[in-house]
Amino acid sequence: MPVHPAILALIGVSLTVSALLALAGAFAIGVVRHWDLTSGSERQLRLERLTYLIATLVAFAFVAELISLLLLVYTAETLSDQFVGAMCATGVLNANPWGWPALFLKIVVFFSGAAWLTLNRVDTRSRDYPLVRPKYALLLGLVPLVWMETGVLLRFLLNLDPAVIVSCCGALFSPAGQGVAAEVSGIAPAWGLALLYAAALPTLAAAWWARRGAGAGLPLAGLALLHYVLALVAVVSVIALYVYEHPHHHCPFCVLKAGHHFIGYALYVPLFAATAWALASGVIAPWRTRPGLRALVDAETRRLAGRSLMALLLFHAVAAWAMLSSGLRMAGVWW
Amino acid sequence: MIELRGVGKVFNQGRHNQQWAVRDVSLRIETGQLTCLRGPSGSGKTTLLALIGCLARPTLGRILRDGEPLSGLPERFMAELRRRTFGFVFQRFNLIRGLSVLDNVMLPAYPEAPAHEELRERALGLLRRFGLGNLAGQRVEWLSGGEAQRTAICRALINRPAVLIADEPTANLDSRLSAEFMGIAAELVASGKTLIVSSHDPRVYESPAVQRLVGLRDGRLEEA
Amino acid sequence: MPSAFQRQRYLIDYSLMALGRRPGKHLGLLAVYTLIVAVLASVMLFSESLRGEARLLLAGAPEVVLQRLEAGRHALMPASYLARIEGLRGVSGVRGRLWGYHYDPFIGANYTLMVPPSDAPLPGTLAIGAGLARSRGLEVGDLLSLRAANGEPYGLKVAARLDTESELLSTDLVLLSEQDFRAFFGIPADHYTDLVLQVRNPREVHTVKEKLNLVFPDSRPILREEVLRTYDAVFGWRQGVVFVILLGSVLAFVILAWDKASGLSAEERREIGVLKAVGWETADIMRMKFWEGAVISLSAFLLGYLLAYLHVFHAGAVLFAPVLKGWAVLYPDFAPLPSVDGLQLATLFFFTVFPYTLATIVPIWRVATRDPDAVMR
């Protein structure tokens, strides 16, 4: 394993986040067992105080996970020079079987954290902590997920061996190859874009509708998830090609490089944010029917849907701009 | 009207030094009156004031205001109620050193986040009303006892609360300032506020401004 | 409904006032924090700039170097190999190189003697690097006498001094003519030290390497990209080792942060109690305290990074240059090129701000959740 400070940082953060979640989980068990809001006993007061600590620890862990997701991608980019055959992050992630799972798990943890924090927000804003038990049960479910992510990330980092020759984005994301990446790269650009807009329009509509309240949380979450997947597919099959001005360069990571003005960030950050907000609105939606929570859930849904809408529009604006302002002209070939 | 039903508060619950500061208190406090809680030190007056003013949660019993519960609420809502409904004047004033009179007065309004200019004007208005207009920029360490108390009163009024609570207001004042305080109290009641005061000082509980007297001993109400 | 933004502004306002009222308490922590950031940032900045320099310099290096080995040790290459390589497909040029080391007992340093591919000095003269010139006090026109391979002194006149811009490469370099080189080292005319090749298509470098391995089993081809990768790894590794060593100080800093955050004076505790009593929520107190921490973190980060930048790029990283540059007797005087990048900042953030903030969470929570009625007792 290359002993690089960035790798040390990634390991340190993952271990810390796992420990924090474990701690929060231990507190959560205590809360679930003894919680009784009507009691004024000292134990109840102590538990209520503890909820502040748990929420802060989880929020901190979540922010750390978010930044470490960026750090993972960054580090993979930077280390690509040390791996024979790697020209970007893809090569490094290919270095052993744990690279891509580590990335996917980090993304899942990111979305789960966003959902939990929203649930927590709704709970603390209501007069009687109605969501305490489901919330902490969910938290206990997050703990093994985070541990798994740490485990996979550690295996990935500790088994990085620069002596192994890797295949980079040119080989992985080429239609001629095998596997998911190749399949996605092989999708015709026209289809990729068509599917994207087919998902985008209903998602935008759902977000717009959800902004006016009245329980559109779940449909929005579902559509946003579908949109997320299709957006990534579109990036690989169409959008990236325009950014690189090359009809066969499908890599999703090279867009993050300085050479392309870091446009990757302008695409991915809004996409991820929009999806996280939409998923969060879906997570709180089932509790809309609880007495006393309707107004609160609606208000939150409106807030989240509004932000999701903005972010979606931003993503599409950047994507459209990237394609229209590109030097690549494929009219007549793809269209 | 603030109603207490069977309210009790214990400290160090379950341990060897467990102590019931307030025991089985049922009481109705009328709005727009000056109520005084009388009793020796240790009788539970301070604790009772804390319970009424949402500073502490009762171990037993319930507290309601105009039918709405004040007890059994999560900390967040208690703090909100405390901020908007009640104003406190502490025995030792508890002003924050290092800050000016004006800053101290504005502090309770921070979580309400009003427009800054409007808040400043409100605070200055209160200071002027109580004769402290020219001391707005003064550091609170350099105030006299009477000035400090009036600053504490301004701070208690900044969020326009309906109820003002004062704990042993004359404990650190001489006769002249005590009389001054009672005068201010009467004025506030006349302007529509409810006042709840605790004291073991005869200058307070024997004052004509007091409209209702409640006795406390060893955490229980005394027979009237 | 008050806007959340407005509320945070008020909280930040209070944090700043609070920091301003007790500067002494925070200055100690700020100093240590800044120092930690400065040290870690210096290590990173310096290594990165060295790495960048190495890259730039290696960009001009030959793509493939072929060296002959005898019993695993570097041996001279016969000129006949040149002809055989010229015929290989994919090779666009090949040239023999003459270079070697000479130990000068006078100042205890190793010189690199080389015959440049073009503009070689006239026979009887040489060009020397700046470090060499400095150590032996040589000027243009002076005579340099070295002990040749046959034991006799060999004198050469200094015709030029290599300019200081290339000091990193040339500080111990001596350039001389082919004639003088062969006479000095006793190398016969049909042998070279090694060969350098140019490859027509950069992507075929590995194929050419394999061919060379087949045709010349007694030689090893060294690719430029391999050298680059090794340098990268070494610099990254060195940084990593220094960071691991510094982990101890980061830990000490974290403990200090925890201590400072927990060690509130009675006065400060009372203050928090008063705030709660007049209507601040626990969440408000916690956020206000985190803003305090954020202000300290931001100041330490900026100040520390600035110090590191000045230290590395204006003071030549005086504090730990030896560790990171490696052993050498002749140190080049060179100005590292400034380069800042996102990865550095993110890594630095995780080694400093992240542990600091983490250390303050529990103490802040403890303070913020005290009962508000404590002020009345």
A139 and A89 together in one domain:
yes
Mean pLDDT of A172-179: 72
A2 and A57 together in one domain:
yes
Q: Is residue C93 part of a domain?
A: no
C258 and C177 together in one domain:
no
Smallest CA–CA distance, residue A52 to chain C, in Å, is 7
Q: How many CA atoms lie within 13 A of A131 on its CB side?
A: 27
C242 and C372 together in one domain:
yes
Residue C334: is its pLDDT beyond 60?
Answer: no
Q: Which tokens go with C68?
A: 């002959």
Q: Is residue C201 part of a domain?
A: no
Residue C109: C-alpha distances to residues B110, C112, C131, C171, C182 (Å): 70, 10, 11, 11, 22
Q: Is residue C63 part of a domain?
A: no
- The one-letter amino acid code at B93 reads F
Is residue B117 classed exposed, middle or buried when 0-12, 13-18 and 19+ CB atoms within 10 A define those classes?
exposed
Residues of chain A numbered 111-130 and touching chain B (CB < 8 Å): 124-125, 127-129
Smallest CA–CA distance, residue C11 to chain B, in Å, is 7
Q: What is the pLDDT of residue A151?
A: 94
Q: Which of A127, A129, A132, A135 is the mutation pick for testing B, counting most B CBs within 10 A?
A: A127
Cα–Cα distance measured from residue B44 to residue C58, given in angstroms and rounded to the nearest whole number: 83
C54 and C106 together in one domain:
no
In sequence order, the 6+-apart residues with CB closer than 8 A to the CB of A152 are A98, A101, A102, A105
Residue C55: is its pLDDT beyond 90?
Answer: no
A3 and A120 together in one domain:
yes
- Residues of chain C positioned with their CB less than 8 A from the CB of B97: 267
Residue B58: is its pLDDT beyond 50?
Answer: yes
| CA neighbor of B127 nearest in space, from B110, B143, B111 | B143
Mean pLDDT of A202-221: 82
pLDDT classification of A109: cutoffs 50, 70, 90: very high
- Residues of chain C positioned with their CB less than 8 A from the CB of B82: 277, 279, 372
- Residues of chain B positioned with their CB less than 8 A from the CB of C283: 76
Structure-model confidence comparison of residues C195 and B14, the more confident one? C195
Q: What is the pLDDT of residue C49?
A: 79
Instruction: Report the relative pairing of strands B68-69 and B60-65 from DSSP bridges.
Output: antiparallel
Smallest CA–CA distance, residue A9 to chain C, in Å, is 6
Of chain B, the end-to-end C-alpha distance in Å amounts to 19
Smallest CA–CA distance, residue B17 to chain A, in Å, is 14
Nearest CB to B74 within list A41, A42, A48: A48
Q: Do C279 and B111 touch (CB under 8 A)?
A: yes
A145 and A265 together in one domain:
no
Instruction: Report the relative pairing of strands B2-11 and B60-65 from DSSP bridges.
Output: antiparallel
- pLDDT by residue (tens digit) across C184-213? 888 888 898 888 888 877 778 888 888 888
C173 and C270 together in one domain:
no
Q: Which tokens go with A215?
A: 């329980």
Mean pLDDT of A128-157: 89
A228 and A149 together in one domain:
no
Cα–Cα distance measured from residue B170 to residue C198, given in angstroms and rounded to the nearest whole number: 97
Rounded to 10 degrees, the C-alpha dihedral A78/A81/A84/A87 comes to: 70
Structure-model confidence comparison of residues A292 and B207, the more confident one? B207
| B91 contact C CB<8A | yes
Residue with the two structure tokens 């691991």: C244
Q: Which tokens go with A125?
A: 């804003």
Chains with 3 or more CB pairs closer than 8 angstroms to B?
A, C
- Residues of chain A positioned with their CB less than 8 A from the CB of C357: 60
Q: In chain C, how many domains are there?
A: 2
| C358 contact A CB<8A | yes
What's C180's DSSP letter?
H
Q: What Rg do the C-alpha atoms of chain C give, in angstroms?
A: 31
- pLDDT by residue (tens digit) across C103-141? 888 777 788 888 888 888 888 888 888 777 877 888 888
**Domain C-terminal end among A140, A167, A194:** A167
- For residues A110 and A175, is the Cβ–Cβ distance under 8 A? no
| CA neighbor of B193 nearest in space, from B31, B44, B70 | B31
| CA neighbor of C191 nearest in space, from C80, C93, C74 | C80
- Residues of chain A positioned with their CB less than 8 A from the CB of B74: 37, 48, 124, 127-129
Lowest-pLDDT choice from B96-100, B212-216, C41-45, C83-87: C83-87
Structural domain that includes position B74: 2-221
Q: How many CA atoms lie within 13 A of A121 on its CB side?
A: 19
Lowest-pLDDT choice from A120-129, A254-263, C167-176: C167-176
Structural domain that includes position A109: 1-167
- Residues of chain C positioned with their CB less than 8 A from the CB of B76: 281-283
A176 and A254 together in one domain:
yes
- The one-letter amino acid code at C331 reads Y
**CA-nearest residue of chain C to B105?**
C278
Label residues A178-187 b or e (16+ Cβ within 10 Å = b): eeebbebbeb
- Residues of chain C positioned with their CB less than 8 A from the CB of A9: 346-347, 350-351
**Domain C-terminal end among A167, A194, A227:** A167
Q: In chain A, how many domains are there?
A: 2
Cα–Cα distance measured from residue B109 to residue B154, given in angstroms and rounded to the nearest whole number: 12
- Residues of chain C positioned with their CB less than 8 A from the CB of B103: 17
Instruction: Report the relative pairing of strands B212-217 and B220-221 from DSSP bridges.
Output: antiparallel
Q: Do B79 and C280 touch (CB under 8 A)?
A: yes
Q: Do A3 and C237 touch (CB under 8 A)?
A: yes
pTM over 0.90: no
**What distance lies between CA C207 and its chain's CA centroid?**
33
C137 sits in the region (left: phi over 0; alpha: psi -120 to 50; else beta) called: left
In sequence order, the 6+-apart residues with CB closer than 8 A to the CB of B63 are B2, B3, B4, B5, B7, B51, B52, B69, B70, B71
pLDDT classification of C333: cutoffs 50, 70, 90: low
C236 and C344 together in one domain:
yes
Q: Which SS3 state, helix, strand or coil, does residue A249 take?
A: coil
C246 and C321 together in one domain:
yes
Lowest-pLDDT choice from A145-149, A249-253, A281-285: A249-253
Q: What is the pLDDT of residue A233?
A: 87
pLDDT classification of A214: cutoffs 50, 70, 90: low
Percent of chain B exceeding pLDDT 70 equals 99
Q: Return the ∠ at Cα A327 (arms to A79 and A248), rounded to 5°.
A: 50
C307 and C173 together in one domain:
no
Residue A326: is its pLDDT beyond 70?
Answer: yes
Q: Do B112 and C2 touch (CB under 8 A)?
A: yes
Cα–Cα distance measured from residue A234 to residue C32, given in angstroms and rounded to the nearest whole number: 49
Smallest CA–CA distance, residue C287 to chain B, in Å, is 11
Q: Which SS3 state, helix, strand or coil, does residue A44 take?
A: helix
C256 and C171 together in one domain:
no
Q: Which tokens go with B20?
A: 């019931």
| B169 contact A CB<8A | no
Residues of chain A numbered 33-52 and touching chain C (CB < 8 Å): 49, 52
Q: How many CA atoms lie within 13 A of B7 on its CB side?
A: 30
A215 and A158 together in one domain:
no
| CA neighbor of C268 nearest in space, from C236, C247, C292 | C292
Q: Is residue C74 part of a domain?
A: no
Lowest-pLDDT choice from C172-186, C261-275, C320-334: C320-334
- HEC readout, C291-312: HHHHHHHHHHHHHHHHHHHHHH
Q: Which tokens go with B62?
A: 């319930």
Lowest-pLDDT choice from B103-107, B113-117, C286-290, C312-316: C312-316
C254 and C349 together in one domain:
yes
Q: What CATH number does residue C122 fall under?
A: 2.40.40.20
Q: Is residue C180 part of a domain?
A: yes
| A5 contact C CB<8A | yes
Q: How many CA atoms lie within 13 A of C321 on its CB side?
A: 14
Structural domain that includes position C179: 99-186
Q: Do C373 and B47 touch (CB under 8 A)?
A: yes
Percent of chain C exceeding pLDDT 70 equals 91
A260 and A292 together in one domain:
yes
Q: What CATH number does residue B164 fall under?
A: 3.40.50.300
Q: Do A41 and B13 touch (CB under 8 A)?
A: yes
- Residues of chain B positioned with their CB less than 8 A from the CB of C21: 98-99
Residue B57: C-alpha distances to residues A39, A47, B7, C373 (Å): 10, 14, 10, 10
| CA neighbor of C131 nearest in space, from C148, C103, C111 | C111
- The one-letter amino acid code at C326 reads G
C285 and C370 together in one domain:
yes
Residue B71: C-alpha distances to residues B59, B66, C359 (Å): 10, 13, 34
Tell me the torsion sign for CA atoms C180, C60, C171, C226: negative
Q: Do C279 and B103 touch (CB under 8 A)?
A: no
Q: Which SS3 state, helix, strand or coil, does residue A36 take?
A: coil
Label residues A75-110 b or e (16+ Cβ within 10 Å = b): bbbbbbbbbbbbbbbbbbbbbbebbbbbbebbbebb
A328 and A200 together in one domain:
yes
- For residues A220 and A278, is the Cβ–Cβ distance under 8 A? yes
Q: Do B88 and C7 touch (CB under 8 A)?
A: no
C140 and C50 together in one domain:
no
Q: What is the pLDDT of residue A312?
A: 92
A28 and A150 together in one domain:
yes
- HEC readout, C228-275: HHHHHHHHHHHHHHHHHHHHHHHHHHHHHHHHHHHCCCHHHHHHHHHH
Cα–Cα distance measured from residue A46 to residue A332, given in angstroms and rounded to the nearest whole number: 70
| A38 contact B CB<8A | yes
Cα–Cα distance measured from residue C39 to residue C36, given in angstroms and rounded to the nearest whole number: 5
CB contacts < 8 A, A to C, total: 85
- Residues of chain B positioned with their CB less than 8 A from the CB of C291: none
Residue A46: is its pLDDT beyond 90?
Answer: no
- The one-letter amino acid code at B55 reads L
Chains with 3 or more CB pairs closer than 8 angstroms to C?
A, B
- pLDDT by residue (tens digit) across A9-29? 899 999 999 999 999 898 888
- Residues of chain A positioned with their CB less than 8 A from the CB of C368: 52
Q: Which of C287, C343, C357 is the mutation pick for testing A, counting most A CBs within 10 A?
A: C343
Rounded to 10 degrees, the C-alpha dihedral A253/A258/A261/A265 comes to: 40
Mean pLDDT of A54-65: 89
Residue C142: is its pLDDT beyond 60?
Answer: yes
A139 and A224 together in one domain:
no
C241 and C319 together in one domain:
yes
Cα–Cα distance measured from residue C332 to residue C329, given in angstroms and rounded to the nearest whole number: 10
**What distance lies between CA A160 and its chain's CA centroid?**
24
Cα–Cα distance measured from residue C154 to residue C160, given in angstroms and rounded to the nearest whole number: 18
Residue C329: is its pLDDT beyond 60?
Answer: no
Start-end of H helices in chain C: 4-21, 23-58, 80-86, 130-136, 167-170, 178-185, 205-215, 224-262, 266-277, 282-313, 321-325, 342-351, 353-368
Residues of chain B numbered 68-97 and touching chain A (CB < 8 Å): 71-77
Q: Which SS3 state, helix, strand or coil, does residue A23 take?
A: helix
Percent of chain A exceeding pLDDT 90 equals 19
Q: What is the pLDDT of residue C324?
A: 53
**Domain C-terminal end among A118, A136, A167:** A167
Q: In chain B, how many domains are there?
A: 1
Q: What is the pLDDT of residue C327?
A: 47
Q: What is the pLDDT of residue B151?
A: 93
Structure-model confidence comparison of residues B80 and C340, the more confident one? B80
Q: Is residue C199 part of a domain?
A: no
Mean pLDDT of A294-299: 85
Q: Which residues pair with B199 in a beta bridge?
A: B38
Smallest CA–CA distance, residue B13 to chain A, in Å, is 7
CB contacts < 8 A, A to B, total: 25
